[in-house]
Amino acid sequence: MASHDDCLLHVPFPGHPERRERLAAALAGAAAAGIPPLAVAVDESAVLRAVELVHEPSLADRLREACTRAPAVFDSPDNPVSTGTFSAAVAAVACSLAAVDAAASGSASTVFVAARPPGHHATRNRAMGFCFFNNAAIAAERFLAAGRGPVALVDFDVHHGNGSQAHFWERADVFYLSVHRYPFYPGSGAASEIGAGKGRGCTRNFPLAAGATDEVYTAALAAGLDELLRTVRPGAWVVSAGFDAHREDPLGGMGVSDDGFFTIGAMLKQASPESPLIAVLEGGYNPEALRRSVRSFLEGLIGVAIS
């Protein structure tokens, strides 16, 4: 498990859903699943070099500057910043990079990244949807640089990962698969969105109506994984692990249970039996439901019998 205390430094305004308690909940869930910790060192200059593979350099510069004027909002009304937001976003990327390095080297086959703020909505030049840097896309680039391509990037957050999809839209070295509520924020993720150019057919979206249950969510994921494995032979997996499809989440409007997340983890384990995999925390805004969901998902992912 890759995490860092600096991820607590992002402090949105009171009442904001992406609050620090989320990290404590995710850590508790991972600990209950028996996931060992992974040491993470934050080298800001190295992190920013990795960030620039996905984002324009001006994004990091603007975020740093915005934090000196905190409290404020950055790029989008739903992205408030505090004085520590830049450091937290850097730490979240550092956790993702440490997880990839451990998985790619063989020192750990599966790593959970318990970090915040989340990332999959962040585009090349804009922060949005509580996200500043796209942790999952940066991790996929890191796997590719380590010679572990092609990469399967699987996103089961209730919100479509528009930033991740856009980054790999015209590329065949990353297959982006998303199961999400639709129509819903951020508005992208229709089934007709399949990539373009060399990347045509390497993006696959499974949009679901509000209220989707375990059976619906996991059936969509099963169909997506089948298509993914018929299209590419992944050398590594990055999972955007959002838990806001949980039926107790205040934002998601879906019906997935703790057991549903266990099944999702087990499905990913079965799909990636010999490949390194990292799972990066995205959404999940009821801390208690998040704790249970993380535990269930990780137990499925590492092959613990369901209780």
φ and ψ at residue 205, rounded to 5 degrees: -115, 140
- The count of C-alpha atoms lying within 13 angstroms of the C-alpha of 103, restricted to the half-sphere facing its C-beta, is 32
Nearest partner of 137 among 264, 38, 3, 239, judged by Cα: 239
The single-letter code of the amino acid at 75 is D
Catalytic residue among 10, 121, 167, 246: 121
Q: How far is CA 55 from CA 26, 47, 124, 147, in A?
A: 27, 12, 4, 21
φ and ψ at residue 153, rounded to 5 degrees: -110, 105
Q: How far is CA 17 from CA 34, 72, 187, 288, in A?
A: 27, 16, 20, 13
Tokens describing residue 195: 């990539």
* Residues sharing a CB contact under 8 Å with residue 185, sequence separation 6 or more, in sequence order: 129, 159
Q: Do 220 and 208 form a contact (C-beta atoms < 8 A)?
A: yes
167 in catalytic set: no
CA 178 to chain centre: 11
> Which amino acids are annotated catalytic?
121
